[in-house]
Amino acid sequence: MVLSGEARKEPPFSPGWANVRTESKGDVTDTRMVARGNFRDTMGAWRRGFAGACAAMILSGAGWAGAASVDPFAEFLSSIPAATTTLSTVNSGSGTQAITTRKFTFPSRKGVNTIYGILSYPQAAGAYPGILQLHGGGSNAETLAGMTVDYAKRGYVALAIDLPGICGTTNTPNTTGPWKSRPLGEAPRFEVAPDPGKSTLVDAEVAGLEAFNWLRSQTNVNPGAMGITGFSWGGYSTTMLSGLLGDKVKAAYAVFGCGYYDKGSAWKTLIAGLSAADRDVWLANLDAGRRAPDIKAAYFLEGETNDTYFWPEAVGATLNAIPGAAKNHVWGPNLNHMQLPDGPAMQRFWFDYHLKGQGNGFSKVTITGSEAAAGQGRKITLTVAPPAGVAVSAVRVHYSVTGADWQSRQWDSVTAVAGAQGVYTAILPDSLSSRKTDFYAKATDSRKVSTGSDMFNTSQVVTGMRRPQAGPAQPSSGPRVDAEGRRMVTRKLPGFRAPR
């Protein structure tokens, strides 16, 4: 994804938002679960742990003396909680929509933490797709209780959990652990001394790993049809967990959240203020973008042009890092940390298609040309490739003059006119000819599903450029390497500018 290199103003930090709802508890019982482990999972965990340790040591310059920087997630990649404690069980609905909702707790991170979860599932016998649903900063699982019920009625086994270190401390009475006594604010999430396990994000992501593995182990869940979705910090966790879990995750949908915080986010200044060693350790172990090359899932990212927390530079870099073509995204014009009105329906379409094989996929939007014509504006050429059986209802090119920050931007748009074979053209106003302007295309289909192109700047030459595929996390200095460890030689393309 190509963006302008203008400096961005860092907005103030915020833990996010939360909507709190309380419900009564039932009797307490224990349920024993049997772990599903295999040789492949064990070896994969060892391999990723060893690679993480090496990456951290290389990045920090600590050499083999830096063994304390072993990947904090390696030992939990296949971990399943051995027991759960039921708090309440409620049956609701009838017929094909008869479901059970169970609220419970489970031990996490070797029993250090206790995690609260909400599980909803169809009462009819069968093996259903499983989906893990993750809340944003300062929030809790209860805010997603309605979502778990909705997905269960539609034939999913849905689980929402409190994410320790990300959830609130006063609205999560059933989730406990040492993380709750840490100072409030962002700082504990970025503490990595004496090792990355110090960060409360490790508590959150380990809970996510164990919840996913537990859900996948249930007898009414199809382990080959697993999804993850989340909002804000939950979107970060969606990206992070999808990278950690690899091919265990078949589909993922992140709302706002992404990786590459150091490229452009509300946390950019905080990360820059860390010591060089701590910064490299945090980025190698806890930045979701550095885990993105291991994502195997069909991945969708719903970004917003004016988001306070996750800026287009970070969104673009995250998408760049995910290999393959099974990824897509959309930009919500003039939206700031607010999901698209049709976003919830898009999530359902995404998972129905990728986890159930129902419905249709999403359109691919690609900008192939940007040409200025004196006195006639700028001609933008693009292609839209809709899935079979889906009609494109609208295509627009959105644009905004580059400014000091993303949040104060005003995005306008022009209609793109359809030509032959899915090619569209749009003309940006000639009044923009002397001003650097960011632009992207957005297509909406007959289902009201919207997808977007990469974001470009009018100062760049666009001649059918495709998003470059990123390799592994790179050291902060020295030669870059490809996925096989070979030294890379970088060749600069005309008009290309990588996000900074």
What pLDDT shows up at residue 424? 98
Of the candidates 70, 123, 11, 99, which has an alpha carbon nearest to the alpha carbon of residue 404? 11
Confidence of residue 85 (pLDDT cuts 50, 70, 90): very high
pLDDT digits (tens, 9 = 90+) for 10-56: 333 222 323 323 333 332 223 323 333 333 343 444 444 444 444 44
Residue 244: name the closest of 74, 81, 129 by CA: 74
More confident residue, 210 or 70: 210
Domain definitions of the chain by residue range: 29-356, 364-463
- Work out whether strand 437-445 and strand 450-452 pair parallel, antiparallel, or are unpaired: antiparallel
Percentage with pLDDT > 70 across the chain: 78
Q: Which of 449-458, 467-476, 483-492 has the highest mean pLDDT?
A: 449-458
The rounded distance, in Å, linking the Cα atoms of 356 and 151 is 12
DSSP 3: -
The confidence score (pLDDT) of residue 58 equals: 41
Phi, psi at 453, each rounded to 5°:
-90, 175
The string of pLDDT tens digits covering residues 344-360 is 999 999 999 999 999 99
Q: Which pLDDT belongs to residue 28?
A: 29
Cα gap 303→338, rounded to integer Å: 9
Predicted local confidence at residue 69, as pLDDT: 64
Is the predicted pLDDT of residue 322 greater than 60, yes or no?
yes
- Decide which of 442 and 27 is more confident: 442
The pLDDT, as a whole number, for residue 134 is 98
Instruction: Output 124 or 46, whichever has higher pLDDT.
Output: 124
pLDDT at 477 over 90: no
Report how far apart, in Å, the C-alpha atoms of 434 and of each of 2, 376, 400, 458 are.
19, 13, 13, 9
CA distance 65 to 69: 9
- What is the distance, to the nearest Å, from the Cα of residue 489 to the centroid of all Cα atoms in its chain? 30
Identity of residue 359:
G
Answer yes or no: is pLDDT of 319 > 80: yes
For residue 463, what pLDDT is reported?
59
More confident residue, 325 or 493: 325
CATH fold label, 364-463: Immunoglobulin-like (2.60.40)
What are the tens digits of pLDDT across the range 465-476?
443 333 333 333
Q: Which option is the CATH number for 29-356: 1.10.287.890, 3.40.50.1820, 3.40.50.11750, 3.30.1360.170?
A: 3.40.50.1820
Model pLDDT, residue 462: 72
Using the predicted structure, report yes or no on whether residue 179 has a pLDDT greater than 60. yes
Q: Which residues pair with 442 in a beta bridge?
A: 396, 452
For residue 163, pLDDT beyond 80: yes
pTM score of the predicted model:
0.81
Confidence category of residue 9, pLDDT binned at 50, 70, 90: very low
First to last CA, the chain: 11
Per-chain mean pLDDT for the chain: 84
pLDDT, tens digit, for every residue of 63-84?
323 334 689 999 999 999 989 9
Q: At what angle do helices 233-245 and 200-216 cross, to 10 degrees?
A: 60
Question: If pLDDT is split at 50, 70 and 90, which confidence band does 407 have?
Answer: very high
pLDDT of residue 170: 96
Question: What is the rounded CA–CA span in Å between residue 330 and residue 324?
Answer: 18
Q: Calculate the CA dihedral of residues 176, 182, 184, 189 and round it to 10 degrees.
A: -90
Q: Which residue has the higher pLDDT, 482 or 96?
A: 96
Question: Under 8 Å CB-to-CB from 267, ≥6 apart: which residues?
Answer: 13, 186, 190, 261, 309
Residues 46-67: tens digit of each pLDDT: 444 444 444 444 443 333 233 3
Please state the rounded mean pLDDT for residues 206-217: 98
Backbone angles phi, psi at 24, to 5 degrees: -70, 155
Is residue 414 within a helix (H) or strand (E), and if so which, with residue range?
A: strand 412-415
